[in-house]
Amino acid sequence: MEERLQKFLAEAGVASRRKAEELIAEGKIKVNGKVITELGTKIDPQKDEVLYLDKIISKKEVEMIYIMLHKPEGYVTTAKEQFGRPGVMDLVSGIAARIFPVGRLDYETSGLVLLTNDGDLTYKLTHPKHDVDKTYIAKLYGTPDDMDLQMFRRGVFIDGRQTKPAKMQILEKGERQSTVEIIIHEGRNRQVRKMCEAIKHPVAQLKRVGTGELTLGDLPKGKYRHLTPAEVKYLKSL
């Protein structure tokens, strides 16, 4: 049965589907000895030979890895870092498969990051149409009032366009700062920080504590664990 080449590469654990598209466009993938650069190319995994870096790619030989990491502040979630800053992959050891982060969490933010070699799942979880909840606990400067909360819940304008409706609940009020729970559905660049700036209550500290029904729990900062079969099944059902 034929399938798109980038989907095959993602499911084989070569890279996320978006990265697989880049590899194809860069001429790094061969099918039956021929370099393929067209993204719409379809293959039959039972008949066609796919090579990356001159190695045959097969989905059957790849063990899917699913990891939850508690990212500390001061780490990047990109696979390659041009400025030499530490990355989340530096915190993971003893994994034979090539895994990569699902989405991004900015440098100053701590919390839940998923790591996997399942490119198809990565594509699903990061694609805007799937609307997977992301839950954060934030310390804000000042305390949002009812009007601020209404603005946040309707969606605010950042980077020239409006965000989807989000949720904010005040957990604790202090003299200069407040603690809130924030739930968003998108994954735009530094979205939570920019939304809070838009309602005039900038973020002092930010931590992602949940993705969908998965929660960080008491996983220590800088540590990771493998997802349970039930957790993997849940993610695949989204």
Q: Which of 32, 41, 38, 37 is nearest to 8 (CA)?
A: 41
Q: Is-contact 63 95, C-beta < 8 A? A: no
Q: Is-contact 77 109, C-beta < 8 A? A: no
Q: Is 106 marked active-site?
A: yes
Residue located via tokens 């660049």: 189
Q: Is-contact 133 185, C-beta < 8 A? A: yes
Other C-beta atoms closer than 10 Å to the C-beta of 218 total: 6
Residue located via tokens 């949940």: 210
CA distance 196 to 73: 19
**Catalytic annotation, pick one of 48, 106, 133, 159:** 106
Question: Long-range pairs for 30-37 at CB < 8 Å and ≥24 separation?
Answer: 30/54, 31/5, 36/5
Q: Which of 77, 86, 72, 78 is nearest to 206 (CA)?
A: 72
Catalytic residue numbers read 106
